[in-house]
Structure 1
Amino acid sequence: MHITPETGRGRATLMLCHVAGMVDLVALPVWVGTLAQHYGYDLEHAGMIVTAFLSGAVAASLAAAPLYNRLPRAACAFGGYGIAALAFLAASHVSGFGALVPLHLVAGIATGTALSVTHGTIGRSANPHRLFAMAGTSLGIGAVIFYGAVPPVVAAYGGSFLFLVFAGLMGAAALACTVGFPRVATGGRERAAAAPLPRAAWCAILGVACMALNQALTFSMLDRIGVLRGFGQDRVNGLLVVCGLVNLLPAAVAGLLQQRLNPVRVALVAAPVQAALALTVTLSADFLPYALAGAVYPAVLIFTHTFLFGLIARLDPSGRALASTPAMMMTGSAIGSALAGSVAMRAGFGGQALLAVVVGTAATLCFAFVARRATAQAPAAAPTRQ
């Protein structure tokens, strides 16, 4: 059987690989909170451990993305997720900073390599926007299960259980790659691999990275903000479950609205909205506004990134730009996890709020440049539509 991104087995494998590789998008607040509560690390050092994973993923993605069309993609996916599973399994048996950091770094490098070839393959599908929306919906389903099951079990059995969950998820993705990682057609798109990326694509990539940074700055501290404000761990855990339920919707809705909304306009609205929600989460002294903003906060990035994924696929049909998706997303996350802890300890949550506004402004400016380029190209494209 020739497995492609359009076959059922190929789609299922890519969706599982996406869920495993984007585990930080779901687990970040639980990850940091577990390291702080169960391992005794302060927010800065807890953020640094998570940053080791994310930095490894970024470095691997930056190395793998330009080589996407020459890599043995199925082998990279299987090997990457397999090595990550072993690294997290080892992390479940240690507790020292000097051991957790290198194990997280190895897991990040392996995951970043596997996720790069996964996203590049989604980008080479017949409809990247739709397939990425399906993958995002799968991540939302995984988030509901994760938030409902993992925090209570971690509270009962200890922080090592979190790393066992990560190991199991990575192992499942590795096994799926052995039987279902799809192949993509060769031909005209390979010739595009030698061409430089358009400036609009670079600006879209930078805008996504800025939104991912804002996501990590606030979402990684969501658990700690709620607990330190006195809202109670149980109510914060309940918020995470609601957050997972809400996140079932944005990717699916983005898939349905593919032909109705302009991706650049979506981004121009989403970046300021994300910053406003970050202000509410970090500055609110009452549980209700904190919870309402926190529940929808990740949905903004998931919804917007689905549209931008399709846009970047059109700007660069070779798949190289989308193979760098882990770098786009995790550069922000890598910086944000450690930066959020440092800012919170030195300038309080008010300092985090100010930083969110600065980063949100940078994202908006990036998308404004993309919009200007699109407007400049519109007159040339108009005769083609006649």
Structure 2
Amino acid sequence: MFRLHMAVVALSLVAEVFAAEPLSNSWREQLTAEPEWQQYFSRSKQLQLLDQQQLDHELSQLPQTVPTLPIRHLKFGFPTEPDEAFWLSEEARRIAKVIVSFQTPSGGWSKRTDMATQARQPGQLYGTEANYIPTFDNEATSTQILWLAAFLPYAPEQMRPELQQAIEGAIRFVLRAQYPNGGFAQTYPLRGGYHDAITLNDHVMTELLSLLNKVATEPQFAFVQAGLRHQAKRQFELGIALLLKAQIRLNGTLTVWAAQHHPLTLDAVQARAYELPALVSSESAEVTLLLMQLPEPSTAVIQSVEAAVAWFRQKQINNTEMQRSDKGVRFVQKAGAQALWARFYDLDKQQPLFVDRDGTVVSSMAELSIERQQGYGWYQSHAEAVLKAYPGWKAMLARDKDAHL
């Protein structure tokens, strides 16, 4: 047994939808005759082995058999949007070195790990959760790439080669992680189970595609090798095509997206017990905003956005405020309150879906356990940004149409 595992102790246009079982690893068996997919799986195993071998080598040089854990942090410990004074400080230089020290040999970073206080030590895990080393969950990897790229112009000359190498290595890691059909799993190298689903949950898919678009187009990534930037552009476009195919059609009408889609069929699939196959509002809003940012939207993109906007308008709850207390959550009428959308909607009647931690479906949020009422965002307002951006997007389309007459 690898010592790393011991630490666990311490394509149609749209996808058809079905009531899915939790994702198993059997989907990979359907691809035994697909060379591109087999190369992908082989590369995933090689990178996982690379990470494990590095840790095993360090442990072999130390008087210990089980790796130690780094400091846990809800995010990463470093400021994500500092001002120029910070970028010029000695503290920024120190943190940059700490961040680089936590980059796995495969090229990514982990979540819920303090990457500001102390550099990673030999024999230490690269993250606090062994099954998420490395991962894209909770903004991991994309956050570190963007942070280091933002710091790079302020870094001392002698630091820049190492930083550039770390950034380019991480970009290659992201490109390798993308499925041949354009999707991204929650965690790479692949870990199995629902982690292998094409993941929109917590904005994994949109964050990574936005990152690839920045690598391909923005001046801050001009130092990246031209071939890598071209590859980022191609794979960004592949990911956009995947999102268009994954948009769920119910009763003949395009709606929005699920939190997790099957890697092959693109059906909505289950993640944790309380995350059943369902339409999702917040992640679908992020997908829609991403599509609205495309400079020359195709007919398919326009149809996708229009369908999503219509769905958001239909589902929005106005003049209602959600109030939390130690007794649970209640809703009160309040004129002008921020619009709300349920996080999940069932795939039958498209009504709000509430599921307790044990997987029990209940008819309202009030019937959930207090822990689930307070500990999960069952109603959110992310879709409001889509409705605010929509008039400007429509005006842009009209201008572009007039310009081509």
Tell me which structure has the larger Cα radius of gyration.
2
TM over 0.5: no
More strand by share: 2
Scaled by the length of structure 2, the TM-score of the pair is 0.26
Scaled by the length of structure 1, the TM-score of the pair is 0.27
More helix by share: 1
Task: Specify which structure has the bigger relative contact order, considering alpha-carbon pairs within 8 angstroms and separated by 6 or more residues.
Answer: 1
